Amino acid sequence: MSFMSRAYGHPGTENSGPRAANRYDRAMMSGGPHRVAVLALPAVIPLELGIAAEIFGRDPHYRLSVCAEGRSASLPGSGLTVNTPAGLEGLKRADTLIIPGYEEADATVSTAVLDAIRAAHARGARLVSICTAAFALAAAGVLDDRPATTHWRWTAELQGRYPKIDVLPNRLFVDDGDILTSAGVTTGIDLCLHVVRRDFGSAAANTRARGLVAPPQRQGGQAQFIERLMPDASGDQLGPLRDWMLENLALPLDLGTLARRAHMSRRTLSRRFREETGVSPMAWLADARIDRAREILETTTEPVENIGRLTGLGAPVSVRAAFHRRIGISPKEYRAVWRGSSTSATATATVRHSPPDPNLGLSGPETIEDTGHTMPAG
């Protein structure tokens, strides 16, 4: 079996982790069904546990076992408990260890579990985390100096607690060879199907996708849906100005106008605004306008041609350029994703959460240029 190219790894490096191909290939060539252990930690998220069990438990290429420390794990909010005949000893022969996410990312993972994860990694097992389970891998130390992702709500927390990890917040999943991590909940489907595709080819993955009535493939490099692009503010001094900006997005605002409104020089405003939000006033304004456009597209039938006038993004070509730059798809495609329209062939596209463009000043409605660069919606 040829080892499929891992095109979703960390840009600028080889598409696999250290010695990953050799370590994993040894497991794949062991003969017999590929052994997959799903580790249910306390307060495991039921859907994520079910995703792994459904995809690998029904595929004849794999032999699935569900494991839990003490042979049981609670399911949050349901009053139910997972009981399994396999404890942590069930991880010892697994070729792939999958850890679904759990309710609280800051929950303490037991020493026994962390030791079991380290031991599995040391003997060459492939490690896969869904959502918050990246924190378990991080606590075990196996993500140090490697790229990884998790649910967008927790990416900053993961980076802050484990600075040695190269956290990629704008990915559905990251394939780093022998360690794979994914974002929240349903991206676990994307990652598990990617694993099947990597192991046994597209036909096998497509068969599982049809059974799930799921998109057969969403590229890991696509980004996660997020609530908004605007960063949270850590200070309140310029809060009234930001509120005023939100109320007047349709106006042709520029830095001078904002500075006069705040009774500050441009330089002082830029410095204090960045201190409170982490971005410049004009970058914040650009994202605020796109967020407002997203809200209109999600909740109304307002023609796309009017979006620029209502939000200050300008002419339709400028609106499309802004969406392609920050969201990764066109306004029409974005509406189709959120309103269930069948007119778009890209209804599985995801939001491109790229860093704010400091040059996206939006001093007037025609500031954004259509560069012609678009991002495939997948």
pLDDT tens-digit series, residues 259-282: 999 999 999 999 999 998 888 999
Question: What is the predicted pLDDT for the residue at 378?
Answer: 32
Question: What is the predicted pLDDT for the residue at 368?
Answer: 29
Q: Of the candidates 183, 184, 209, 186, which has an alpha carbon nearest to the alpha carbon of residue 196?
A: 209
Q: In what order do the strands lie in the sheet with 173-175?
A: 62-67, 34-39, 96-99, 126-129, 179-182, 173-175
Tell me how far apart the alpha carbons of residues 24 and 28 are, in angstroms, rounded to a whole number: 6
Q: Of the candidates 301, 297, 295, 360, which has an alpha carbon nearest to the alpha carbon of residue 326?
A: 360
Position 211 confidence tier, pLDDT thresholds 50, 70, 90 = confident
Q: What percentage of the chain exceeds 70 in pLDDT?
A: 74
Question: What is the predicted pLDDT for the residue at 285?
Answer: 94
pLDDT digits (tens, 9 = 90+) for 221-253: 444 445 555 556 666 789 899 999 999 999 999
pTM for this predicted structure: 0.57
Alpha helices in the chain (DSSP H): 20-28, 46-57, 111-122, 134-140, 155-161, 187-200, 202-212, 239-247, 255-262, 266-277, 281-299, 307-311, 316-326, 331-339
pLDDT digits (tens, 9 = 90+) for 94-135: 999 999 999 888 889 999 999 999 999 999 999 999 999 999
Q: What is the mean pLDDT of the chain?
A: 78
350 or 305, greater pLDDT: 305
Q: What is the mean pLDDT of residues 130-151?
A: 95
